Amino acid sequence: MDDAQIYATIGEEGFQRLVGLFYRQVPTDDILGRMYPKDDLAGAEQRLRDFLVGRFGGPQRYIEERGHPRLRMRHAPFAIDPEARDRWMELMSHALDEAQLPADVTEFLREFFDGVATMMINRA
Ligand code: HEM
């Protein structure tokens, strides 16, 4: 399984389902709920979805609209300590369980998220 195969396998719909399941958990989460923009959760959902679609072989909407991802820089305004990182991963892992994507895709994405989430830690 390589990156571009993911979009070819699950398409727009798969990423929409996954990211929707992730964001559904955010508002009531005691750590992440206050970090994400309450009045623009739909926008945040779209940004993550478009980023993933482009990253895994689909249309490059994210880069067209937002430019180079620079994810570490874009996360700098948020205090992401290991606890927040683990919580993000917990919610995403739960979303991956629920989304019922093909097993190899699920495992590939789980490892991808796990690695990137660790890179986003910017507080001890
Ligand atoms: C480690 C824990 C993480 C926390 C606490 C976190 C938190 C946030 C927050 C609060 C936002 C702002 C929401 C918005 O308005 O767009 C955001 C944006 C974003 N996050 Fe994360 N995030 C984490 C990990 C990740 C990971 C692992 C990825 C990718 C695999 C990711 C991708 C993105 C993207 C693409 C955006 C939109 C950036 C933009 O264009 O402004 N984040 N994140």
SS3 for 27-96 is CCCCCCCCCCCHHHHHHHHHHHHHHHHHHCCCCCHHHHHHCCCCHHHHHCCCCCCHHHHHHHHHHHHHHH
Give me the count of residues in the chain: 124
Between CA 86 and CA 61 the distance in angstroms is: 28
Which of 19, 24, 124 is CA-nearest to residue 62? 19
At residue 1, does pLDDT exceed 90? no
The atom number, within ligand 1, closest to the CA of 84 reads: 5
Q: What mean pLDDT do residues 89-106 have?
A: 98
Provide the percentage of residues in the chain whose pLDDT is more than 90: 98
Q: Which atom of ligand 1 is nearest to the CA of 118?
A: 1
pTM of the model: 0.97
Centre of ligand 1 to C-alpha 75, Å, is 6
Which ligand 1 atom is the nearest neighbour of the CA of 36?
10
Structure confidence by residue, pLDDT tens digits, 31-79: 999 999 999 999 999 999 999 999 999 999 999 999 999 999 999 999 9
Distance from the alpha carbon of residue 55 to the mean position of ligand 1, in angstroms: 14
